């Protein structure tokens, strides 16, 4: 995109609209009870004059055209907005009152608007300003540490990929982690309501060729506010899909007044973080030879691989850190232009955005073009309508385009030794894997939303919402022969077209009776239709490498299919809000949903919710306590649900694969989609929430606390099914419960008095969540599942959290023969691996749980548990963030820290490296593969063990065996503490003061300069490079995309 | 705003939404067929039946379990270095089937065979309900399809029974997924009477089509002979073997054409699974039969990734010069060991990719030579020594061996040895050893009397996987403590 052209266009617009008239200047001072306030915005109501801000002495000067009919508005965060009619005055001094400003903000709960003060549910608002200009493709990751009750973990740093975002605990059990392509799907994710349009990322991610995060299509700087709705009172009104939380996003709308143009630009660098510590060159050689000498017998030492002994050979005397080959420093830039203006009849806001981020891995990155227009029209005095049009294009470069654990061309766990020489041809081959591959991932999204409101009769209002969303998602790939490991070139095209239409009728009625009783009643009926289409073609063995598309391919090498899926959802909702004296609030809602995704007679779901709140501080007995601004108690109960991702969940479909038998078409019941039942129905979550809000000392200390218990019942999932039926799993409403219980705490403080020039606010978010399985089918029988990569077992048992591991218990090392237990009956020492390995000194101590004198993960004597015990829990107990913001005169500084505590992680990367070298390798692998640095590990060796006092911290590292998979993570050897505290974002801003701008002329209104550093430092105890960069199941595989560090510098100009 | 207009607008919009949405709430898949609409015509039944053959084929191919159960566990082959995790299944590993790293899902888990059985249940139950005029071949085709399904169901149960011992017997398809009965293992009697009933019915239903890749009447007779022999009911075994042999549908291939047996639709073959290459269908694979081959049959393939014939087989089993050996045995890469070349239809079909190949051969499950030798065994057991010798020498003659003349135990051992020679690499030897009670004679160290008594020749079951789904399932006796 040519930015200069856009810029000129907006400048032009701007100059056209600034033809001037006669002017009068009005001056004055703005104070509060303690003194002058700098930075108060003074604007003209109706908006013809440029808004100005008070200076350090609280003084302002504003120029208006027609003082007789002008009203000035004085506004500042933390104070009650004040209006003053100008009349004949030329000097107006005002005193602002401190206010619980946040409480006047309006949140949309279902189809009703409520003030935060009056709301009965647990909601939290993040204003767009808090996340503006932060260098990330999409807003969700920016909410990390800013909202309590949500857990965001970035398990990949790949730009444009989706990370986990769970609200109040995970309720999803992925039936097969090894077939899951997008790990974000293994955790529950909330429903997004973007400008009134429900967006299910689950549905979208299930129908995506590119895997690009749909939410990344929204320009972060277009967001006005994000409302996180957590409890059932808020989510039940979204009924069918609200069970995992609802995130309501409102984009900025037009303003009344003359055009305001805002330009914003930032750019910066993305940098790779620290990689695993390794040794290279001569040091690696010394280490390896040293180890061989420690363990080798005379015969073995006579036969050391040449790569180790021949240090003068130029092929073997290099020092390449292979990890480093594929990383680079990238650049991130963002361009934003927007213009807003309007009058009484129409107002609008238009915005253009271009975001571009280079990944830190070669040939990865993300770019977005987006265009958004928000228009409001006043039709009659009693009717108004708005129109929101948004279009975006996302391009994502995916590097090798392989799975999440394969971002570099050589397996991360078996990289060559550092002294192997790389020829130019090697470089060509490795870099060619990135550079010669064509992998276009393009997502186009268009959405149109319109709402028309009509005041029908005395408080009765009718609204019609209509929206259409279209997403065109397309991936084209081409791999030439030269970089194909098996010599097979291929090209493919994969396209998904997703359409969603919504039509909603809303009728509402509001009335206040006898001054004290306020009612609001809303009835809603809506219909949503989803349509997903897919076309896929793939061809192997392209005729030449010049053809990069599927053409001229032999029939045999051609694959192709199309797909079509559709779903409908009809909903009805009744909502009642009642309050008495704005002090006792009661809300109720009842929603009914009918979805085509369920069985013929089980389509209906009903979702009730009740909630109440009490503003105790308004009671007479508390009213006089000066320092108590607000004390409010809230309570709610309600039910909400989730929709299955599968549009045809209740159908037992048949597979008609392309393979044949004896030339005949084959049909079998689908085994990829499990057996199902025709009576599939809604799975529901019921949630109880108790909360309190406490605002003290003129809102200088605000505390919001919520306690909740969420019970998810009968989730639709694939469950093991008796094999003798011929089916391996049955997908049904499994009669089980998943419990999430926890506390959300938010404390915000203004640490210095309002008069201080230096302002300092602190915000602490803390979420505690305990996830556990409440009951299981078949009489609460526990069951095992495979972890990703089959490293350890996952154990599902009542009382345990989802994705808990079951492992053998590693308890140290047998240092000496006399420590090894001997079976008194047989006289034999304890054995490992089904009797195949009698334990010797240097072996790890594995706990013999079933006391059968053999330790192994699946001892198969009828006792399925063998020697496994439940161990690590990858679900974090505590998550949150600490945010500090300082402002001094024109400077501002903010620091965000995020944290996660009480989480177990497992270093499968280290495990796989040790396993690859010592368990499978033998001496040649040992010589040829890169080693993890073991120099500081106190491992067992025969010479050290001659000291009777010797005590090893790690088992024997003999390259000569014995090998019984001792380094695989089925024992707790690699479990680590996953706690971390991360200094996530530091941002420093400077606002150029108005006087210098006025001297400059040019019509500049505000200029702000800022610098941001992102992902700065992590405090952690684990040995993985970044304790956040682990899968939702807690594994660090070493192959994941690292979280980059970003440094940006930006400027923002308002005319 | 005018009230009238407002209400008109309301009504219009409201009715639009309501009428529009009803049809979008009862949606059926357009991207697949499903249970309720599947069982309507012969063409679909045919597809389902092909599905069962195809599933059986995959079940056998998985980890080459067909050959592991039949030949590796009979010590017919020596394992190349790549097959380190198979080493405990052969004699030097004491036939310890309880140690099968990475192979548990195929060797200890019978679930995949139950998928075939369920598919047969569905066909057997639904086919008679469809009107005959919905079959292109009319009633004859309808009968044939049901007959094939019955044969296949019996074949699979019989196979499972021989590998893992008493199976859990399901006799009909699952009716209500929410009310699955808990089933224990069935008794041997129940299982065999079910198998025999199925096969007798299939013989009634099946015709004598020429295509060996699907079941026909002869296959039913041959299998019934095997089932009775397994139960040591040798009179019945002899009867069905004789029925088949005298039907004259099958002939032994001449020794010069010996390898035709595995090239598809030979005169001698009774029933086989199709794995032949053709340009369209991708039924041939590289990763199954290739285990027997090295260079020069497959480029750059050495003994490490090969099962060559075991020393016992080359040195003692094939102790005489014979034409048959020369037909199907060659020296492998490096010249140090012998490899079996029954399945050597290697096809480098893709000129663009010099390393892409398939081995285009069929897996012959039942063939005439097998049944002739089975009848020799039955005749011997039934006291018909002359008949036994006649059958045995028919096979010896084709192999280019001198006729056998001894009697008594020597004859019985010779029949066994001849079967092992004739059917080597065809997945039979281990089951012959069990049926003919040769294990303790051949491998006295590994197969103690206690092991034989506890049926320790069966394979263990993967209890961690299977027990949670079937709480009444028990581990095989021997493997409870080994």
Report the top-level CATH class of B5-206+448-480: mainly alpha
Average pLDDT score over residue span A125-152:
86
Which ranges in A105-179 belong to alpha helices (H)? 128-131
Residues of B in contact with A669 (CB under 8 A): 35, 118-119, 122
CB atoms within 10 A of CB A29: 18
Helix (H, G, I), strand (E, B) or coil at B120: helix
Asked if the Cβ–Cβ distance from B115 to A783 is below 8 Å, we say no
Share of chain B above pLDDT 90, in %: 71
Min mean pLDDT across A439-453, A748-762, A1040-1054, B222-236 is at: A748-762
pLDDT digits (tens, 9 = 90+) for A614-632: 988 888 888 888 888 889 9
CB atoms within 10 A of CB A589: 28
Q: What is the rounded CA–CA span in Å between residue A1011 and residue A445? A: 31
- Tell me if chain A has a CB within 8 Å of the CB of B2: no
Average pLDDT score over residue span A785-807:
88
pLDDT, residue A259, reads: 82
Which residues 349-388 of B have a C-beta within 8 angstroms of A? Answer: 350, 352-356
- Shortest CA gap A201–chain B (Å): 22
Strand duo A24-32 + A59-64: pairing: antiparallel
Cis peptide before A628 (omega within 30 of 0): no
pLDDT, residue B16, reads: 54
Asked if the Cβ–Cβ distance from A721 to B278 is below 8 Å, we say no
Strand duo A854-855 + A831-832: pairing: parallel
Asked if the Cβ–Cβ distance from B178 to A677 is below 8 Å, we say yes
Q: For B471, phi and psi rounded to 5 degrees? A: -60, -20
Min mean pLDDT across A78-82, A641-645, A759-763 is at: A78-82
Tell me the two tokens of residue A202. 């689950």
Asked if the Cβ–Cβ distance from B353 to A488 is below 8 Å, we say yes
What single DSSP character describes residue A458? T
Does the structure show a pLDDT above 70 at B393? Answer: yes
Residues of A in contact with B362 (CB under 8 A): none
pLDDT, residue A15, reads: 39
Tell me the two tokens of residue A922. 């033998």
Q: Are A59 and A27 in contact (CB under 8 A)?
A: yes
Share of chain A above pLDDT 90, in %: 24
H or E segment to which residue A1020 belongs: strand A1006-1020
CA angle A652, A657, A661 (to 5 degrees): 115
Asked if the Cβ–Cβ distance from A722 to B470 is below 8 Å, we say yes
Q: Count the residues in chain A.
A: 1055
Asked if the Cβ–Cβ distance from A600 to B26 is below 8 Å, we say yes
Q: Are A612 and A586 in contact (CB under 8 A)?
A: yes
pLDDT, residue A96, reads: 79
Domain boundaries, chain B: 5-206+448-480, 275-361
- Shortest CA gap B480–chain A (Å): 5
Those residues with Cβ within 8 angstroms of residue A1052's Cβ, 6 or more apart along the chain or in another chain: A133, A262, A263, A264, A265, A1006, A1007, A1008, A1009, A1010
Asked if the Cβ–Cβ distance from B1 to A861 is below 8 Å, we say no
pLDDT, residue A7, reads: 40
Tell me the two tokens of residue B387. 């008949």
CA nearest to B38 within chain A: A654
Asked if the Cβ–Cβ distance from A662 to B211 is below 8 Å, we say yes
Average pLDDT score over residue span A272-287:
80
Strand duo A604-615 + A517-540: pairing: unpaired
Write the residue in B1, B121, B214 that is nearest to A383 by C-beta.
Answer: B1
Does the structure show a pLDDT above 80 at A667? Answer: yes
CA nearest to B478 within chain A: A861
CA nearest to B282 within chain A: A659
Average pLDDT score over residue span A808-816:
92
What burial class does residue B279 get, using C-beta atoms within 10 Å of its C-beta: 0-12 exposed, 13-18 middle, 19+ buried? exposed
Which residues are A982's β-sheet partners?
A: A898, A1018
Q: Are A846 and A833 in contact (CB under 8 A)?
A: no
H or E segment to which residue B405 belongs: none
pLDDT class of A697 with cuts at 50, 70, 90: confident
- Tell me if chain A has a CB within 8 Å of the CB of B452: no
pLDDT class of A1025 with cuts at 50, 70, 90: confident
Does the structure show a pLDDT above 90 at A123? Answer: no
Q: Where are the beta strands (DSSP E) in A514-603?
A: 517-540, 558-580, 584-595
H or E segment to which residue B266 belongs: none
Q: What is the mean pLDDT of chain B?
A: 90
Does the structure show a pLDDT above 80 at A215? Answer: yes
Does the structure show a pLDDT above 90 at B451? Answer: yes
pLDDT, residue A328, reads: 85
pLDDT class of B186 with cuts at 50, 70, 90: very high
Residues of A in contact with B6 (CB under 8 A): 454, 456-457, 462
Residues of B in contact with A570 (CB under 8 A): 21, 25
Q: Count the residues in chain B.
A: 482
pLDDT digits (tens, 9 = 90+) for B232-271: 999 999 999 999 999 888 999 999 999 999 999 999 999 9
C-alpha separations of A1012 from A146, A378, A457, A985 in Å: 17, 41, 52, 7
Does the structure show a pLDDT above 70 at A100? Answer: no
Q: What is the mean pLDDT of chain A?
A: 84
pLDDT digits (tens, 9 = 90+) for A234-253: 887 887 788 888 998 988 88
pLDDT class of B192 with cuts at 50, 70, 90: very high
How many Cα neighbours within 13 Å face the side chain of A525? 13
Q: What is the rounded CA–CA span in Å between residue A973 and residue A701? A: 46
Q: For B143, phi and psi rounded to 5 degrees? A: -65, -40
pLDDT digits (tens, 9 = 90+) for A333-350: 999 999 988 887 888 999
Cis peptide before B296 (omega within 30 of 0): yes
- Tell me if chain A has a CB within 8 Å of the CB of B34: yes
Asked if the Cβ–Cβ distance from B281 to A382 is below 8 Å, we say no
Which residues are A702's β-sheet partners?
A: A695, A748
Residues of A in contact with B36 (CB under 8 A): 651
pLDDT, residue A4, reads: 41
Write the residue in B24, B168, B281 that is nearest to A660 by C-beta.
Answer: B281
Which residues 148-177 of B have a C-beta within 8 angstroms of A? Answer: 168, 170, 173-174, 177
Average pLDDT score over residue span B310-338:
90
- Tell me if chain A has a CB within 8 Å of the CB of B474: yes
**Which of B7, B10, B21, B96 should be substituted to probe chain A, the one whose Cβ sees the most A Cβ atoms within 10 Å?**
B21
Tell me the two tokens of residue A498. 């997703």
Does the structure show a pLDDT above 70 at A33? Answer: no
Does the structure show a pLDDT above 90 at B361? Answer: yes
Q: What is the rounded CA–CA span in Å between residue B263 and residue B260? A: 5
Does the structure show a pLDDT above 90 at A770? Answer: yes
What single DSSP character describes residue B260? G
Average pLDDT score over residue span A67-76:
80
Q: Are A365 and A396 in contact (CB under 8 A)?
A: yes
Average pLDDT score over residue span A163-183:
83
Q: Are A685 and A640 in contact (CB under 8 A)?
A: yes
pLDDT, residue A402, reads: 73
CB atoms within 10 A of CB A205: 19
What burial class does residue A827 get, using C-beta atoms within 10 Å of its C-beta: 0-12 exposed, 13-18 middle, 19+ buried? exposed
pLDDT, residue A20, reads: 41
Q: What is the rounded CA–CA span in Å between residue A258 and residue A240? A: 43
pLDDT class of A59 with cuts at 50, 70, 90: confident
Higher pLDDT, B24 or A374: A374
**Which of A484, A507, A667 should be substituted to probe chain B, the one whose Cβ sees the most B Cβ atoms within 10 Å?**
A667
CB contacts < 8 A (A, B): 243
| Cα dihedral: A838, A842, A846, A850 (round 10) | 20
Those residues with Cβ within 8 angstroms of residue B335's Cβ, 6 or more apart along the chain or in another chain: none
Q: What is the rounded CA–CA span in Å between residue A304 and residue A307? A: 8
User: Concatenated DSSP letters for A26-65?
Assistant: EEEEEEETTEE-TT-EEEETTS-SPPEE--TTSEEEEEES
Write the residue in B14, B31, B38 that is nearest to A505 by C-beta.
Answer: B14
Write the residue in B13, B29, B118 that is nearest to A653 by C-beta.
Answer: B29
pLDDT, residue B437, reads: 93
Tell me the two tokens of residue A250. 């409102």
- Shortest CA gap A393–chain B (Å): 29
Q: With CA atoms as reference, report the closest residue to A491 among A479, A474, A475, A473.
A: A479
Min mean pLDDT across A241-245, A526-530, A980-984 is at: A241-245
Average pLDDT score over residue span B363-369:
95
Which residues 107-146 of B have a C-beta within 8 angstroms of A? Answer: 108-111, 114-119, 121-122
In which region does residue A27 sit, left (phi positive, over 0), alpha (psi from -120 to 50) or beta (all else)?
beta
Share of chain A above pLDDT 70, in %: 94
Instruction: Tell whether the torsion through CA atoms of A613, A614, A615 and A616 is positive or negative.
Output: negative
- Tell me if chain A has a CB within 8 Å of the CB of B479: yes
Q: With CA atoms as reference, report the closest residue to A367 among A159, A521, A525, A228.
A: A159
pLDDT digits (tens, 9 = 90+) for B89-148: 999 999 999 888 889 889 999 999 999 999 999 999 999 999 999 999 899 999 999 999
pLDDT, residue B324, reads: 93
- Tell me if chain A has a CB within 8 Å of the CB of B39: no
């Amino acid at each position: 995109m040519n930015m200069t052209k856009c810029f000129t266009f907006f400048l032009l617009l701007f100059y056209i609209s600034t033809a001037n008239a006669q002017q009068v200047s009005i001056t004055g001072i703005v104070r509060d009870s303690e003194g002058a306030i700098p930075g108060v915005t003074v604007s003209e109501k109706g908006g013809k004059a440029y808004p100005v801000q008070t200076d350090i002495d609280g003084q302002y000067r504003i120029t208006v055209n027609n003082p007789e009919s002008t009203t000035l508005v004085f506004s500042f965060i933390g104070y009650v907005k004040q209006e003053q009619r100008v009349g004949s005055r030329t000097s107006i001094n005002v005193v602002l009152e401190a206010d619980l400003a946040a409480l006047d903000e309006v949140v949309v709960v279902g189809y009703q608007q409520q003030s935060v003060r009056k709301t009965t549910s647990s909601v939290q608002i993040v204003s767009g300003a808090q996340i503006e200009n932060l260098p990330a493709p999409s807003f969700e990751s920016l909410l990390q540490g800013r909202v309590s009750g949500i857990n965001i973990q970035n398990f990949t740093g790949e730009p444009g990929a989706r990370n986990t975002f769970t609200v109040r605990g995970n309720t999803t059990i992925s039936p097969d982690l090894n077939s899951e392509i997008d790990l974000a799907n293994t955790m529950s994710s909330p429903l997004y309501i973007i400008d009134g349009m429900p967006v299910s990322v689950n549905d979208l991610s299930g129908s995506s060729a590119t895997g690009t995060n749909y939410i990344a299509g929204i320009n972060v700087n277009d967001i006005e506010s994000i409302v996180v709705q957590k409890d059932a009172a808020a989510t039940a009104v979204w009924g069918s899909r609200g069970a995992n939380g609802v995130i309501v996003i409102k984009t900025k709308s037009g303003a009344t007044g003359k055009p305001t143009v805002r330009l914003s630009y930032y750019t910066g660098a993305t940098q790779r973080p620290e990689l695993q510590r390794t040794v290279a060159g001569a040091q690696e050689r010394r280490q390896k030879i040293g180890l061989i000498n420690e363990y080798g017998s005379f015969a073995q030492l006579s036969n050391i691989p040449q790569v180790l002994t021949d240090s003068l050979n130029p092929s073997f005397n290099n020092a390449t850190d292979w990890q480093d080959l594929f990383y680079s420093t990238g650049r991130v830039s963002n361009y934003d232009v927007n213009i807003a203006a309007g009058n009484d009849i129409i107002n609008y806001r238009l915005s253009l955005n271009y975001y571009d981020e280079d990944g830190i891995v070669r040939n990865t990155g993300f770019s977005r073009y987006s265009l958004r227009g928000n228009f409001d029209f006043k039709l009659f005095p009693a009717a108004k309508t708005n129109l929101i049009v948004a279009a975006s294009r996302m391009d994502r470069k995916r590097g090798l385009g392989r799975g999440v654990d394969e971002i570099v061309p050589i397996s991360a766990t078996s990289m060559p030794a550092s002294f192997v020489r790389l020829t130019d041809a090697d470089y060509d081959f490795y870099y060619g894997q990135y550079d010669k591959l064509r992998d276009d991932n393009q997502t186009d999204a268009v959405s149109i939303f319109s709402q028309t409101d009509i005041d029908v009769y005395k408080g009765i209002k009718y609204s019609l919402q209509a929206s259409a969303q279209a997403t065109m998602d397309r991936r084209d790939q081409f791999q030439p022969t030269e970089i194909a490991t098996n010599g097979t070139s291929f090209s493919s095209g994969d396209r998904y077209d997703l359409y969603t239409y919504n039509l909603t009728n809303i009728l509402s009625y509001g009335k206040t009776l006898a001054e004290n009783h306020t009612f609001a009643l809303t009835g809603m009926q809506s219909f949503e239709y989803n349509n997903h289409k897919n076309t896929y073609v793939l061809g192997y063995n392209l005729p030449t490498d010049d053809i990069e598309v599927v053409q001229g391919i032999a029939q045999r090498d051609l694959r192709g299919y199309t797909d079509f899926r559709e779903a409908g959802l009809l909903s009805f909702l009744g909502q009642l809000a009642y309050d008495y004296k704005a002090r006792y609030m009661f809300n109720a809602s009842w929603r009914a949903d009918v979805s085509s995704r369920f069985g013929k007679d089980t389509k209906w779901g009903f979702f009730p919710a009740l909630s109440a709140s009490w503003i105790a501080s308004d009671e007479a007995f508390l009213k006089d306590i000066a320092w108590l601004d607000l004390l409010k108690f809230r309570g709610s109960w309600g039910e909400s649900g989730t929709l299955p991702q599968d549009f045809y969940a209740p159908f037992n479909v048949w597979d008609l694969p392309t393979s044949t038998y004896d030339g005949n078409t084959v049909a079998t019941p689908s085994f990829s989609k499990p057996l199902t039942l025709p009576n599939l129905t809604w799975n529901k979550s019921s949630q109880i929430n108790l909360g309190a809000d406490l605002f003290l000392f003129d809102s200088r200390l605000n505390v919001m606390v919520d306690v909740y218990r969420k019970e998810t019942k009968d989730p639709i999932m694939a469950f093991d099914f008796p094999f003798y039926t011929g089916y391996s799993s049955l997908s049904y409403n499994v009669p089980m419960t998943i419990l999430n219980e926890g506390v959300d705490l938010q404390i915000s403080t203004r640490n210095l008095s309002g008069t201080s020039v230096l302002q300092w606010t602190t915000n602490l978010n803390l979420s505690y969540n305990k996830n556990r399985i409440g009951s299981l089918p078949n009489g609460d029988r526990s069951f095992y599942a495979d972890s990703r990569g089959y490293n350890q077992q996952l154990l599902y048992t009542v009382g345990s959290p989802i994705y808990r591991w079951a492992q053998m218990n590693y308890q140290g090392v047998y240092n000496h023969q006399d420590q090894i237990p001997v079976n008194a009956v047989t006289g034999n020492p304890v054995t490992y691996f089904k009797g195949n390995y009698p334990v010797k000194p240097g072996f790890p101590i594995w706990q013999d749980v079933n006391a059968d004198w053999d330790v192994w993960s699946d001892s198969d004597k009828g006792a399925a548990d063998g020697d496994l015990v439940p161990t690590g829990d990858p679900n974090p107990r505590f998550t949150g963030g600490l945010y500090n913001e300082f402002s001094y005169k024109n400077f501002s500084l903010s620091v965000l820290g995020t944290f996660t505590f009480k989480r177990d992680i497992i270093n499968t990367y280290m495990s796989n490296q040790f396993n690859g070298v010592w368990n499978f390798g033998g001496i040649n692998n040992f010589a040829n593969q890169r080693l993890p640095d073991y120099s500081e590990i106190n491992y067992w060796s025969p010479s050290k063990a001659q000291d009777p006092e010797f005590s090893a911290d790690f088992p024997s590292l003999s390259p000569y065996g014995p090998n019984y998979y001792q380094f695989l993570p089925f024992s707790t050897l690699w479990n680590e503490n996953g706690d971390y505290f991360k200094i996530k974002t530091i941002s420093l801003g400077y606002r150029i003061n108005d006087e210098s701008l006025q001297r400059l002329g040019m019509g500049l209104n505000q200029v702000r300069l800022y610098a941001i550093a992102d992902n700065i430092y992590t405090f952690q105890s684990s040995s993985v490079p970044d304790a956040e960069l682990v899968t939702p199941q807690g594994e660090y595989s070493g192959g994941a995309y690292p979280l980059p560090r970003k440094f940006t510098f930006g400027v923002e100009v308002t005319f | 705003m005018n009230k009238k207009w407002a209400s008109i607008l309301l009504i219009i919009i409201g009715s639009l939404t309501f009428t529009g949405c009803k049809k979008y709430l009862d949606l059926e898949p357009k991207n697949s067929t499903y249970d309720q609409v599947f069982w309507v015509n012969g063409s679909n039944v045919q597809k389902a039946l092909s599905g069962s053959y195809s599933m059986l084929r995959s079940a056998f191919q998985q980890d080459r379990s067909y050959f592991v159960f039949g030949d590796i566990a009979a010590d017919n082959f020596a394992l190349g270095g790549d097959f380190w995790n198979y080493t405990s299944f052969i004699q030097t590993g004491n036939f310890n089937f309880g140690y099968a790293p990475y192979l548990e899902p195929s060797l200890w888990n019978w679930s995949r065979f139950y998928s075939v059985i369920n598919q047969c249940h569905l066909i057997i139950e639904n086919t008679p309900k469809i009107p005959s005029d919905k079959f292109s071949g009319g009633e004859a085709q309808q009968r044939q399809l049901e007959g094939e399904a019955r044969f296949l169901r019996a074949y699979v149960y019989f196979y499972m029974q021989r590998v893992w011992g008493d199976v859990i017997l399901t006799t009909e398809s699952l009716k209500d997924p929410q009310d699955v009965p808990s089933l224990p293992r069935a008794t041997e009697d129940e299982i065999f009477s079910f198998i025999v009933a199925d096969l007798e019915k299939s013989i009634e239903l099946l015709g004598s089509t020429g295509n060996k890749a699907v079941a026909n009447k002869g296959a039913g007779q041959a299998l019934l002979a095997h089932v009775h022999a397994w139960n040591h009911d040798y009179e019945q075994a002899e009867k069905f073997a004789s029925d088949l042999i005298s039907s004259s549908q099958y002939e032994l291939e001449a020794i010069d054409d010996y390898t035709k047996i595995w090239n598809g639709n030979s005169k001698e073959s009774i029933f086989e699974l199709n794995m032949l290459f053709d340009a369209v269908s991708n039924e041939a694979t590289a990763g199954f039969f290739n285990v027997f081959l090295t260079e020069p049959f497959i480029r750059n393939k050495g003994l490490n990734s090969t099962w060559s014939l075991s020393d016992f087989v080359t040195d003692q089993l094939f102790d005489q010069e014979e034409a048959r050996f020369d037909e199907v045995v060659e020296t492998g890469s490096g010249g140090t060991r012998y490899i079996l070349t029954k399945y050597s239809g290697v096809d480098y079909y893709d000129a663009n990719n010099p390393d892409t190949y398939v081995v285009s051969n069929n897996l012959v499950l039942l063939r005439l030579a097998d049944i002739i030798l089975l009848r020799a065994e039955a005749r011997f057991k039934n006291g018909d020594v002359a008949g036994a010798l006649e059958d045995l020498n028919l096979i010896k003659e084709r192999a280019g061996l001198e006729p056998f003349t001894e009697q008594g135990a020597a004859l019985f051992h010779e029949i066994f040895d001849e079967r092992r020679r004739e059917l080597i690499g065809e997945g039979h030897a281990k089951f012959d050893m069990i049926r003919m009670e040769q294990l303790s004679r051949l491998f006295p160290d590994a197969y103690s009397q206690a092991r034989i008594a506890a049926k320790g020749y069966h394979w263990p079951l993967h209890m961690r996987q299977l027990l949670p789904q079937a709480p009444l399932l028990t581990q095989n006796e021997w493997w409870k403590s080994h």
